[in-house]
Amino acid sequence: MAKTIGINNFRKYLNDFGFGEKTGIELKTEVDGNISSIYDKMHGDNLNMAVASFGQSITATPLQMLSAYAAIANQGILVKPYIVEEIIQPDGNIIKTQTQEIRRVVSPRTASLVTGMLVNVVDSGHAVLAAVDGYYVAGKTGTAQIASSNSRGYSNRTNHSFVGFAPAALPKFAMIVYLQNPKDVLYSASSAAPLFGEIADFVLNYYQVEKER
């Protein structure tokens, strides 16, 4: 699929979704992530793109991943994340944080198509343990090998993640579950996905979100 897209479009969308740069959230310790490998001429465009297409040779923060998925949930628009929703001053005056749209990354139709694919992953793919009864959940697993610290290549350690949003048609929240080198489990479908499902079930019920099915 990455080869069909081509290296130039691949680079464009990584940049447009905000990878390789800070999201701008009000955290001084936020880092950029690193996607420089897709510009590395030493190994050639095809190899760089092939490896990066499934998430290796590049780094991204959990917040960058969440922000990218939120763009899909927002019908293709990348939005600057924030922590403080509003400030209530001593005199009762309320200062609300204004939503800042950064840019349109994909069209609403493309966002809808991708959402459908993500729903299929949860309904009948590897992430069925992330499902929540009565709702369409959109999301994807991620299992990333950790580079070896004392030799070339990768170690036998992995990082697991699940990123998604719900309800898929009219999302109320987006969330990422990230587990660093979990023990006694090989894939995020068995670790991060069920944890996402449990939290999503709580959130949807807590806010009394109407069921879709």
Are residues 113 and 78 part of one domain? no
- Contacting residues for 89 by C-beta, under 8 A, at least 6 apart: 95
Which CATH number belongs to the domain containing residue 79 in this structure? 3.40.710.10
Res 164: pLDDT = 98
For the chain, give percent helix, strand, coil, nearest 5.
35, 20, 40
Give the amino acid at 211: K
What is the per-residue pLDDT for 5?
Answer: 86
Residues 164 and 199 in one domain: yes
Boundary of a domain, candidates 105, 136, 162: 105
71 and 157 housed in the same domain: no
pLDDT at 44: 65
Residues 90 and 140 in one domain: no
Residue ranges making up the domain that contains 125: 107-213
Report, in angstroms and rounded to the nearest whole number, the Rg of the chain calculated over CA atoms. 18
How do residues 41-75 score in pLDDT, each as one tens digit?
Answer: 776 677 888 888 888 889 999 999 999 999 999 99
> Which of 56, 78, 105 corresponds to the end of one domain?
105
Same domain as 101, residue 116? no
Residues 116, 98, single domain; the answer is no
Indicate the pTM of the whole model: 0.92
Q: Are residues 4 and 101 in the same domain?
A: yes
Domain with residue 196: its CATH number is 3.30.450.330
> Does one domain contain both 12 and 83?
yes
The total domain count for the chain is 2
Same domain (yes/no): 128, 112: yes
Residues 55 and 69 in one domain: yes
Parts of the chain with a pLDDT under 50: none
- Site of tokens 């979100």: 209
